[in-house]
């Protein structure tokens, strides 16, 4: 779905429906991502809990922890110990010890959700707590400074590192977020100070929370959009509630964001219908995706593997077969980047582009795919061609897929899409 006559780099649409808030992100008029939150309770990542270890599984080097949700949360050994970093550039702890030496059944823990529950799997948790702000993430339990890998200028990285070193409290750490690029030291220091105050207010309350129980809840959808999504590319925001517009204007004026003057209220229309969001979601739930040229993609998903097939379809080109193939593959690469974000697909992704004999053409398509994924906030990596000529890539699993949020398995076929012609 593409908005007509839209020239905005990035545009947000927020719609309130009874107890639900829905948000859509458009880039150059194309629908890229959709979020929703019902009753303020559907988002769990970032929440902090007191929990109790139920099972320790040495064979899996993991434990299951009761934090008060429907399913016990999953705690991997690498997330069960305080982080120790190998060097200043790696935001990954050094693996140490075995799970049975760290945890015992009935042991009480303070943990934070870092991955939403998906399907039959419970939430994934960590004992390493973080408090995210707009420009930094505070690490209250470890002294460390990290810089977002998306900030590539060496001078800017050094500037931000110096600012963080001066502003962070003794014994605590910070990770500088991508949004901090080009931001002055005063704003970054203020962000760190606010998060530090939040932690110092939160810490004394922890022992008084019952087990299992919620210690700290992450902010609501509107606040998360302000914190995580409204970057310098956002040029326009449309909402259907004046109070939401007022909140956004005030917050954006405080950080001198130009979009504060481009917040529009449209209260007499269904914004998701007006902007074609629901229609875009319906199309993204189909396995076949048509390209503008007449080619198409077929996207099939399993729990850990996504398979995408590229076809020329109705597109026959004009000059040669080679030109037709390259044109289709380049268009497909750009659309695949969008579909991965819109559907929120994660895991191992294998793409069967139409065969190309030229190494230059193959590299051009891979670069187009990398470019299409470069603005994705969720970490992805294009690994290149396999021996079979397939393109392999990965995308981190974050939250629930669009299919999980908007569909349920068919009771007749158990979600396979096919029904039996013989009695079960």
Q: What is the pTM of this model?
A: 0.81
Please state which of the ranges 123-137, 301-315, 360-374 shows the lowest mean pLDDT: 301-315
Contact 216, 67 (CB under 8 A): no
- Each residue's pLDDT tens digit, 117-148: 876 788 999 999 999 999 999 999 998 999 99
Residues 137, 34 within the same domain: no
Residue 234 structural domain: 10-41+220-278
Helix axis angle, 321-343 to 359-373, nearest 10°: 20
Vertex 148: Cα angle to 143 and 153 (nearest 5)? 120
**Does 19 score more than 80 pLDDT?**
no
Separation CA 363–CA 382 (nearest Å): 12
Count up the domains in the chain and report the number. Answer: 3
Q: 414-423: long-range contacts (C-beta < 8 A, 24 or more apart)?
A: none
Residues 190, 265 within the same domain: no
- Beta bridge partners, 111, equal 49
Q: Looking at the domain assignment, is residue 48 inside a domain?
A: no
Run of H or E including 214: strand 213-216
Residues 308, 392 within the same domain: yes
Q: DSSP for 82-99?
A: ---BSSTT--SBPP-S-H
Separation CA 72–CA 250 (nearest Å): 40
Residues 402, 304 within the same domain: yes
Which position has the token pair 């707590």?
Answer: 129
Residues 271, 206 within the same domain: no
Q: Looking at the domain assignment, is residue 61 inside a domain?
A: no
- Each residue's pLDDT tens digit, 397-423: 888 889 988 888 888 888 777 888 787
Domain boundary among 255, 278, 301: 278
């Amino acid at each position: 779905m593409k908005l007509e006559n839209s020239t905005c780099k990035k545009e947000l649409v927020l719609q309130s429906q009874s107890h639900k808030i829905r948000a859509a992100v458009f880039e150059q008029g194309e629908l890229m991502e959709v979020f929703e939150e019902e009753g303020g309770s559907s988002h769990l990542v970032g929440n902090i809990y007191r929990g109790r270890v139920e099972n320790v599984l040495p064979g899996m080097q993991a434990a299951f922890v009761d934090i008060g949700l429907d399913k016990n949360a999953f705690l991997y050994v690498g997330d069960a110990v305080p982080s120790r970093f190998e060097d200043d550039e790696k935001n990954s702890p050094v693996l140490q010890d075995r799970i049975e030496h760290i945890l015992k059944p009935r042991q009480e823990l303070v943990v934070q959700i870092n991955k939403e529950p998906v399907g039959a799997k419970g939430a994934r948790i960590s004992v390493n707590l973080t408090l995210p702000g707009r420009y930094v993430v505070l690490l209250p339990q470890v002294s460390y400074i990290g810089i977002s890998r998306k900030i590539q200028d060496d001078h800017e990285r050094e500037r931000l590192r110096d600012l963080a070193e001066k502003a962070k409290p003794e014994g605590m750490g910070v990770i500088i977020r991508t949004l901090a690029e080009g931001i002055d030291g005063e704003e970054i220091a203020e962000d760190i100070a606010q998060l530090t105050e939040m932690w110092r207010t939160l810490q004394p309350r922890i022992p008084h929370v019952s087990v299992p129980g919620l210690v700290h809840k992450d902010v609501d959808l509107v606040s998360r959009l302000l914190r995580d999504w409204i970057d310098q590319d956002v040029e326009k925001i449309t909402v259907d509630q004046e109070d939401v517009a007022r909140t956004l204007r005030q917050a954006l004026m405080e950080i001198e964001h130009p979009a504060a003057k481009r917040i529009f209220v449209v209260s007499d229309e269904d914004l998701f219908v007006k902007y074609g969001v629901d229609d875009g979601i319906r199309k993204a739930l189909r396995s076949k995706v048509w390209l503008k040229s007449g080619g198409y993609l077929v996207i099939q998903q399993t729990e850990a593997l996504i398979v995408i097939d590229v076809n020329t379809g109705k597109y026959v080109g004009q000059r040669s077969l080679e030109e037709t193939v390259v044109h289709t593959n380049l268009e497909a690469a750009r659309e695949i980047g969008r579909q991965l974000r819109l559907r929120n697909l994660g895991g191992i992704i294998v793409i069967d582009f139409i065969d190309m004999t030229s190494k230059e053409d193959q590299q051009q398509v891979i670069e187009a795919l990398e470019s299409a994924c470069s603005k994705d906030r969720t970490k992805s990596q294009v690994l290149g061609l396999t021996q079979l000529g397939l393109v392999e890539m990965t995308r981190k699993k974050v939250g629930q897929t669009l299919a999980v949020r908007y569909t349920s398995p068919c009771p007749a076929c158990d979600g396979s899409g096919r029904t039996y012609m013989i009695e079960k």
